[in-house]
Structure 1
Amino acid sequence: MLDFIDDTSDEFASSQPSPAAPGSDAAHPGDQALLDAYSNAVIDVTERVGPAVVRVETGSRETSLRGRGGLGSGIVISPDGLVLTNSHVVGSSRQIRLRDTEGAVTDARVLGVDLDTDLALLRADGARDLRYALLGNSKNLRRGQLVVAIGNPLGFESTVTAGVVSALGRSIRSVSGRTIEDVIQTDAALNPGNSGGPLVSSSAEVIGINTAIISGAQGICFAVASNTAQFVLSEIIRHGYVRRAYIGVAGQTAPVPRRHAVVAGVDNKMGALLAQVEPDGPAARAGLLPGDVVIKLDGVEINGVDDLIRVLDRDRIGRTLEMDVLRLGRRRAIAIHPIERKTVRR
């Protein structure tokens, strides 16, 4: 600790203006208005989205009463009781209950899980006209943007924390070893029990599903992007699971330099940057390399990893597709033959 010694003369000190009282408008002009605006934004988000956040309990009622059941958070996304949460919150449990902010408890069943994104879709039994939240467009996020996390950390229900988007396009590896792509990094405080709860923008749209905390780190937490969550839930509703084409790459959303776009004759401002290419996978056999930026696949413009994930659906399994990539600023057309990804089903 540094100690500062005041050796200023009394005469000099008396000639200086008196400091304003802490917290007064004179001390920090405009600060109070900024603080009020920030507080009002968080309050508005909490009041609009908070009632749609539920506590997810797994295991029998007896084990839950003894504190031995699983515990997480979830977000209601439709009035008929569709709930998004994490697959690691649900695990292999067949007994799931949802508790809302008013303490009402209802049983729920699992419609489907997707281990690749750590997401699960539940339906509350017999629930109708529930308070729900809207999924926003995570592609519009910017670093530094205000976000609010709502959940049940350490069992403390309806806890609200706020922070900013620290980074976009992260890839994280779960405990089981699978990689989750295009993840949002935030400094909003999260703890065990927040998993499955929403990360919300200042416009009260869910732009992520909180999924992980780095043990031992401070202020580094992650959420699955809402665009990825939208794709997963639509697949589960349609098929019961997410059937995907697989090309064997890991990547992140990255900007396409304007000069590269002009030279290549494309309109993309963003693309899917390949960070890793699995040896002997479809991408490696096609000649793709780390550092390539995917801008189009099978005629569909790719503006990020979530677009690439969405295009690699069941309809493109086993077909030979044309992929356009930027390599060292030059456009290349590559033929690739996706295979079906092995999927764990409940």
Structure 2
Amino acid sequence: MDPLMNQANWLKRQGIPSLTLLAGIIMGVVFFQYFANYKNAVVLDRQVAARGALTDDEQNTIKVFEEAASSVVFITTKRRGYDFFRNVTEQPAGTGSGFVWDHNGHIVTNFHVLQGGNAFEVVLLDQSIHEAKVVGLYPDKDMAILKIDAPKELLRPIPLGTSGELIVGQKVLAIGNPFGLDHSLSTGVVSALDRTIESVNGRQIKEVIQTDAAINPGNSGGPLLDSSGRLIGINTQILSRSGASAGIGFAIPVDAVRRAAPQLIRFGQVRRAGLGVSVNRNQRIRRQLASRGIEGVLIMAVQPGSAADRAGLRGTTRIGRRFQVGDILVGVNQEKIRNNNDLYNALDQLEVGQEVTIEYLREGEVFKTQLTLEAITAQ
């Protein structure tokens, strides 16, 4: 019997119509071939598009980052101590950013980056780790300077600009280590100028730069740059309800850094112009004076031999159970003084050795005197 007939009969016995099976095989082959060809067609048909030239702004951003990145450092703050067995222990206290100030290994950062620690490490761009020591602290401006011993070829001081010529709307770049992610770049603009923020010790920091460049925890102490790659500020604070960037960041102006850094390196502290007096910081006394309609800063004590002493200013004295109220400062160089911050900000703009006119209230009458400002240590 014909073999094909035998196969057909077998298929019938199995209940499988031969034509249906054959049709299924053919359709399977056709669909397989179709999808194989379709896949190949898709792969062969999709090609990488040419990128095209980078914009001038992109090229500028890339250039600034590449040149400035080697100046930015990662700072780790630790608390070092001893356990019961006198073994050295270390606990992490925080991280932040900083930048190279000079070839001698001085690193500028925020005071609050170092706050709470007693041991510090600086990581440079090449990932080398260097023990750092504190050279100077200036909490009034939330500034601090560390020093590391590193090869000079690894130390690239950041170019300095000026904050006095900034314009709202100009481009800025922030480089730092947000959330421990080293050398992260964000860009934005100068959102506002002459903002006032509060430092860690409650003192006001004036002339602060506001920017919408993303600043997050870990960015503190890092540089804010202009489009020429020059330092224009130190990223220091954000205004945010969540604790992360909300597009409102603040940077200490570079002009304040340029004034303070040399003194911090040389003396370990900033020597500001002062009168040689201690003033009232008691809120109750302030309220009592305000209730009597008196605005100004009450002198509590005059340092013997100081400029204020030579000018005849008087401090507050105690007679038995009563206090003899001292002179109340109400003006410096025709600038009205209403509170401690007014006095601090007025003196911050003046130089040691400069002659100024002081107005003060004594027994209800306003007097004027001139004195020469002298160096005092900033707290």
Using structure 2 for the length normalisation, give the TM-score: 0.60
In structure 2, the CA distance between the partners of 1:144 and 1:335, relative to structure 1 (3 Å rule), is farther
**Corresponding residue number in structure 2 for 1:214:** 239
Q: Is the 8 A contact 2:80 2:118 kept in 1?
A: no
- 1:289 is displaced (CA, Å) by 1.9
Matches of residues 61-80 of structure 1 in structure 2 within 5 Å? Answer: 68-80=92-104
Q: How does 1:1-346 map to 2 (within 5 A)?
A: 36-59=55-78, 68-129=92-153, 130-216=155-241, 218-246=246-274, 279-280=297-298, 284-286=330-332, 288-289=335-336, 309=348, 311-313=350-352, 315=353, 320-322=355-357, 335=370, 338=373, 343-344=378-379
For 2:56 and 2:240, how far apart are their aligned partners in 1?
33
Cα deviations across residues 106-147 of structure 1 (Å, max 9, x unaligned)?
A: 111111010111011111124423122112111111111100
> SS at 1:57's partner residue?
strand
Per-residue deviation at 1:339? 7.0
Aligned 8 A contact 1:70 1:89 in 2: yes
Q: Which amino acid aligns with 2:335?
A: L
Deviations 1:157-188 (A, max 9, x none): 11000000111111101344221121111111
In our comparison, the structure showing a higher alpha carbon Rg is 2
- Whole-angstrom CA distance in 2 between matches of 1:310 and 1:112: 21
Q: How far apart are the structure 1 equivalents of 2:228 and 2:349?
A: 25
Distance 1:213 1:235 in 2: 27
CA distance in 1, matches of 2:203, 2:370: 27
Distance 2:371 2:298 in 1: 13
CA contact (8 A) 1:108 1:124 kept: yes
Q: Distance in 2 between matches of 1:190 and 1:310?
A: 29
SS at match of 1:43: helix
**TM-score normalized by the length of structure 1:** 0.65
Q: Distance in 2 between matches of 1:337 and 1:115?
A: 26
Deviations 1:226-272 (A, max 9, x none): 11001110111232210212479xxxxxxxxxxxxxxxxxxxxxxxx
Specify whether residues 235 and 154 from structure 1 end up closer, same or farther in structure 2 by C-alpha distance, changes over 3 A only: same
**Residues 138/220 of structure 1: CA separation in 2 closer, same or farther (3 Å cut):** same
Deviation at 1:310, TM superposition (A): 5.7
Counterpart-to-counterpart distance in 2, 1:196 and 1:110: 15
What's the C-alpha RMSD, in Å, of the aligned pairs? Answer: 3.4
Q: How has the CA–CA distance of structure 1 residues 161 and 207 changed in structure 2, closer, same or farther, with 3 Å as cutoff?
A: same
How many positions carry a matched residue from both structures?
Answer: 257
Assess, with a 3 A threshold, how the Cα gap between structure 1 residues 61 and 54 changes in structure 2: closer, same or farther.
farther
Amino acid at match of 2:75: V
Do the aligned residues in 1 keep the contact of 2:79 with 2:116 (CA within 8 Å)? no
Counterpart position of 1:330: none
Gaps (5+ residues) in structure 1? Answer: 1-31, 249-276, 292-304, 324-332
Contact 2:142–2:200 at 8 Å: present in 1 too? no
Measured in 1, the distance between the counterparts of 2:68 and 2:112 equals 23
Q: Which structure has greater helix proportion?
A: 2
Percentage of identical aligned residues: 36
Kindly tell me: are residues 126 and 101 of structure 1, through their superposed partners in 2, closer, same or farther at Cα, counting changes over 3 Å? Answer: closer
Q: Distance in 2 between matches of 1:45 and 1:61?
A: 37
Q: Provide the C-alpha distance between the structure 2 equivalents of 1:120 and 1:96, rounded to a whole number of angstroms.
A: 12
Q: CA deviation at 1:283?
A: 5.4
Secondary structure in structure 2 of the residue aligned to 1:244 = strand
Per-residue deviation at 1:280?
3.3
Residues 72 and 183, structure 2, Cα contact 8 Å, conserved in 1: yes
Assess, with a 3 A threshold, how the Cα gap between structure 1 residues 173 and 336 changes in structure 2: closer, same or farther: farther
Counterpart Cα distance in 2 of 1:337 and 1:283 = 16
User: Match for residue 27 of structure 1?
Assistant: none
After superposition, give the CA deviation of every residue in 1:78-100 in whole Å (9 maximum; x if it has no partner).
12211110011111533111001
Q: Distance in 2 between matches of 1:213 and 1:101?
A: 25
